[in-house]
Structures are given as C-alpha cells and as structure tokens.
Amino acid sequence: MLVEVKVQSLGMDRSSNTPVLILQEVDGERLLPIWIGPGEASAIAMQLADMQFSRPLTHDLLASVLSGLGGKLQRVVITRVTDSTYYAALVIERGEDHISVDARPSDSIAVALRADARIFAEDDLLERASIEIQEDSTSFSLESSGGESDGGTAPFANADELNEYLRQLNPEDFGRFSP
C-alpha cells in the first residue's frame, strides 16, 4: 500500500556525519529517514529555501525537459530498500501513457519539489523505520535497519546550516574536475 509523504526536514545524522532527509506521512506521524549525498542535499535544501538561480541546475533541467517533451511528473514512489539502498520510481504522465523510471529517492524528491509532484512511500518502509528527533531540531539521532542510504555522505547539517555552507563556497572548494 502506498502512503503519501512530505519532506519534513533535512538534517545530519550525527553518528555518520551524513545528510539525512526525513519524510513524514501526510496523514500521520510516521517518519522515514533516507541518508543522501551532498549534491542531492544541496538541491533539496535550495528548493526548500526557494533559492532562485539565473540558469537551471540539474534537477531544474530535468523538470524542464519533462515539461518540454509534453510530460508531467505525476508522482514519486519510494519503492523498496535492498542491501541498505533505497529505490524510487518517477511516474511520468504523457497523454494516456504512464512511464515509470527508476531513480534514486534523493534525485526523485529534488525533481518532485520542483515539479510540485506528490511523493509516496510503500507502507512497509514506514513501518520498519524508527527515528527520534532531538529537541533542538538541528541534528538527529537515527535508528533504522542498518543506516540505509541512497548513496552519499557530507559534512553539513540541517537546511539552514547547509544554505549558509553553500553561500560561503568558492569554486575552488570543489577541486579540479577531470573527466
């Protein structure tokens, strides 16, 4: 059974120094933590903070491409977790056709926020997750079945701290790109 969820917060798992996206069921209290990478955390934080850029970033580009091709992101579904990795699907509607595309949950959610699409998770994922949010709301003490992630680590905390971190970045901070 699918349960609609929303982005409740973006924070830092203190035990692993990894960004974690907290999803909460829309009509309930259950939470689903998903450990994500720094790029996706940045993309989600920027959208949550309503930061605008003169040129489209990757997730903005994908949303524009979908629209330009006559499609609409109908919903994102967090489908399963296997070997500590979450899986998701972008469900795209184009005319009478519905296309499901495999994607990482973090990328899917970054695009869903830009496309105003609904986010769903399988009920059993919400049942399995256990999370305690500290009173100060700046960091999280997370317990789950093995620190599941969708692929990355990063040295920053909640959305406000991430936004401040992003504002202070210099191009040199990213190192030299080599294909």
pLDDT in tens, 104-143: 999 999 999 999 999 999 999 998 875 544 444 444 443 3
Instruction: Using pLDDT thresholds of 50, 70 and 90, give the confidence band for residue 56.
Output: confident
Most confident by average pLDDT, 52-66, 123-137, 143-157: 52-66
Distance in Å from the first CA to the final CA of the chain = 42
Cβ(103)–Cβ(145) below 8 Å:
no
Instruction: Using pLDDT thresholds of 50, 70 and 90, give the confidence band for residue 18.
Output: confident
**When comparing pLDDT for 150 and 22, which is higher?**
22
| 70 pLDDT higher than 50 | yes
Coil, strand or helix: which one is 35? strand
Q: Would you kindly state where each structural domain of the chain is located, as residue ranges? A: 2-169
Cα(39)–Cα(58) distance, integer angstroms: 10
Cα(147)–Cα(159) distance, integer angstroms: 20
Tell me the whole-structure pTM to 2 decimals.
0.74
Pick the CATH number of 2-169 from 3.40.50.720, 3.90.1150.10, 3.40.50.620, 3.10.690.10: 3.10.690.10
pLDDT at residue 150, as a whole number: 57
Q: Which residues pair with 77 in a beta bridge?
A: 89, 120
